[in-house]
Amino acid sequence: MTRQLFTLLAILLCAIGFSLGFGVRTLMPAASKPIAGAQKAFAPPPETAIPAGPLGEEVALGRSIFTDTGNAAPDFVGNDLKCSNCHLDAGRRANAAPLWAAYGLYPQFRTKNGHVNTFAERVQECFKYSMNGKAPPAGDRVLVAVESYAAFLATGAPHGVKLTGQGYQKLPKPPSPADYGRGQAVFVATCARCHGADGNGQRSEGQVIFPPLWGPRSYNWGAGMGDLQNAAGFIAANMPQDHPGTLTNQQAWDVAAYIDGKPRPQDPRFTGSVAETRTRYHDTAQSAYGKTVDGVLLGAAAVVR
């Protein structure tokens, strides 16, 4: 009897230890669940905590690259977006892929490129795809500054733990499959007033005031926002900007299918064939690349302005 109890206890302890150990491993898949104890929202330090001296200068430079990317890092940007258009509140907002939650999750294996990525490489990828630009080379000032800013925002955050608010909300599947036509109706009623009827955003006195959602100055086909699940999660939590959280789950998926069913710049991994590029990089229900939507074969025509 005592022996049985002892065995039971040992098994229980092992199980607890295993699940905890599993949760805090650094090289964990991105989709693993938050562990108990990481539930409390993490608060990044305020701007005023940026230290004086060379480190603080680097952090501040990283912040300006993050929020004014085209002006602060023009060599690496090929569109009208800023990092902070998708990583809101200068990379601070939960459920908008905040930097404080990202920093401690690297090195991380990513199925997207099939190897372990450092944090720097993850940033390079957003330059290449989301910014439709060029990856700053390893050790480049731009990369080091963005890393410094992310490290500053993550001050005091546990390493290797998936924090609440990390990434974009994983929105449950909609009641009926995401639909381009219904999405268009949502777009016209709810989004066009800011992002423009043509989805190309709006400028005033040379400045982009509302970022483009598709077209030649938006993210390219390789970007994470081109994945329906990411776009729906971002939109549900953060858009419309002045009334976030007001769309139904169905509306968020439908409007995501609409904007991600529009032409945008070519995937930089383009092999020369749309069909082959789809098979290699977009062979999922979450991507419309290589499909014909609204009479347009997505990925086929050059999208330039």
Interface with ligand HEC by CB under 6 A: which residues? 69, 81, 83-88, 97, 101-102, 105, 122-123, 126-127, 130-131, 146, 166-167, 186, 190-191, 193-195, 210-213, 218-219, 223-225, 230, 234-235, 239-242, 247, 255, 259
For the bound state, the minimum distance from the C-beta of residue 301 to ligand HEC, rounded and expressed in Å, comes to 20
Which residue, 237 or 247, has its beta carbon nearer to ligand HEC? 247
Minimum Å gap between C-beta 201 and ligand HEC is 6
Instruction: Report the b/e string of 197-233 with b at 16+ CB within 10 A.
Output: eebbbeeeeeebebbbbbbbbbbbbbbbbbbbbbbbb
Q: How far is the CB of 2 from ligand HEC (least distance, A)?
A: 48
The span from the CA of 257 to the CA of 176, in Å, is 13
Give the residue with the Cβ less far from ligand HEC, 163 or 274: 163
- Identify the three-state secondary structure at position 228: helix
207-210/108-110 β-pairing: unpaired
Q: How far apart are CB 125 and ligand HEC at their closest, in Å?
A: 8
Query: Beta-strand (E) ranges in the chain?
Result: 108-110, 115-117, 202-204, 207-210, 292-293, 296-297
Tell me which residue of 229, 29, 190 sits closest to 110, measured CA to CA: 29
Neighbouring C-beta atoms of residue 292, cutoff 10 Å: 11
Instruction: Name the residue nearer to ligand HEC (CB basis): 52 or 70.
Output: 70
Closest to 287 (Cα-Cα) out of 102, 269, 217 = 269
CB of 51 to ligand HEC, least distance (A): 21
**Cβ closer to ligand HEC: 108 or 277?**
108
For ligand HEC, the closer of residues 205 and 242 by Cβ is: 242
Maximal C-alpha separation, the chain: 81
Minimum Å distance from CB 67 to ligand HEC?
Answer: 8
14 vs 125, beta carbon nearer ligand HEC = 125
Q: For ligand HEC, which is the closer residue by CB, 3 or 33?
A: 33
Residue 211 beta carbon to ligand HEC: minimum distance, rounded to whole angstroms: 3
At what angle are helices 228-238 and 249-259 packed, to 10 degrees?
A: 130
75 touches 134 (CB < 8 A): yes
Calpha distance 149→159 (Å, rounded) = 16
